[in-house]
């Protein structure tokens, strides 16, 4: 399974999964159809599935047009997004599994950004390979999604599930927000040397016009403040050692940043 990153809208990423043996494809969160159709034409591949993480328009905006081109494809989404994702056929819950290109992804229910958000995790295929996490707007490189329909407690629980995955997991998040996220992270965690180094590397990458997605989960665990509610420096910023209070304080600060 090969993952192709497609740029959409102003800062969205669409991820096209290509089964090179069968020459079929699945797409994660198609914000719009055109980039997907262009990539499929280049590959000569047939689209067989859409994997949606949540119902927001910048994640499902291309569904209807893609269904028009490939009427037999299957549209997946969270069970609690019933009626909110165009063309949805399959309603996924925590612990369900989906298969593509001989790989089996586990479904995580990760509410917080929305009440029905899910993530797709493909464990590594062979020793030494990375796992693949498609997490929509729950976890970002250097950050996390805003709480539009959920609570800090839900988001901490959701992020805890993702944080428990292996360090060698590629985080395919849906937006190019990394530089701004790390700018904020430095305001609450200025002594973190890993964070300082990462910010410099991201600055250089963006100046060259390079994407910063995917990131590695191991790096997120060291530098992303929204995965580090048990770090003493961040607990000091939040004036609490309660995970939900620490997270909630940091998220509130980021909302105003």
- Report the catalytic residues: 54, 56, 58-59, 113, 137, 175
54 labelled as ligand-binding?
yes
56 labelled as ligand-binding?
yes
117 labelled as ligand-binding?
no
Strands (DSSP E) contained in the chain are 2-8, 12-19, 24-28, 46-51, 74-78, 90-92, 97-100, 103-109, 118-122, 131-136, 139-140, 143-144, 169-173, 215-216
Contact (Cβ atoms closer than 8 angstroms) between residue 58 and residue 12:
yes
113 labelled as ligand-binding?
yes
Give SS3 for 162: helix
Distance between CA 13 and CA 219 in Å, rounded? 20
CA nearest neighbour of 165 among 214, 213, 106: 106
18 labelled as ligand-binding?
no
Burial environment of residue 232 by CB neighbours within 10 A (0 to 12, 13 to 18, 19 or more): exposed
58 labelled as ligand-binding?
yes
Q: Could you check whether the bond before residue 214 is cis, i.e. omega within 30 degrees of 0?
A: yes
175 labelled as ligand-binding?
yes
Binding residues: 54, 56, 58-59, 113, 137, 175
Binding residues for Zn(2+): 54, 56, 58-59, 113, 137, 175
């Amino acid at each position: 399974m090969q993952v192709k990153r497609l740029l959409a809208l102003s800062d969205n990423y669409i991820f096209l999964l290509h089964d090179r043996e069968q020459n079929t494809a699945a797409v994660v969160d198609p914000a719009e159809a055109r980039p997907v159709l262009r990539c499929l034409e280049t590959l000569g591949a047939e689209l067989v599935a859409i994997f949606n993480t949540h119902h927001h328009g910048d994640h499902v905006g291309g569904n209807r047009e893609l269904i028009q081109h490939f009427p037999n494809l299957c549209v997946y989404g969270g069970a609690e997004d019933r009626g909110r994702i165009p063309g949805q056929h399959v309603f996924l819950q925590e612990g369900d599994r989906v298969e593509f290109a001989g790989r089996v992804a586990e479904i995580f229910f990760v509410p917080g950004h929305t009440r029905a958000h899910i993530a797709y995790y493909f464990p590594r295929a062979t020793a030494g390979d990375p796992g693949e996490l498609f997490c929509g707007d729950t976890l970002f490189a250097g950050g996390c999604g805003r709480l539009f329909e959920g609570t800090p407690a839900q988001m901490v629980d959701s992020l805890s599930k993702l944080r428990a995955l292996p360090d060698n997991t590629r985080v395919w998040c849906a937006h190019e927000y990394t530089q701004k996220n790390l700018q904020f992270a430095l305001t609450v965690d200025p002594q973190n040397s890993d964070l300082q180094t990462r910010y410099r590397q991201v600055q250089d990458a963006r100046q060259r016009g390079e994407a910063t997605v995917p990131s590695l989960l191991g790096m997120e665990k060291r530098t992303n403040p929204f995965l580090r509610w048990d770090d003493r420096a961040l607990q000091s910023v939040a004036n609490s050692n309660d995970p939900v209070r620490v997270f909630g304080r940091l998220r509130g600060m980021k909302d105003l940043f």
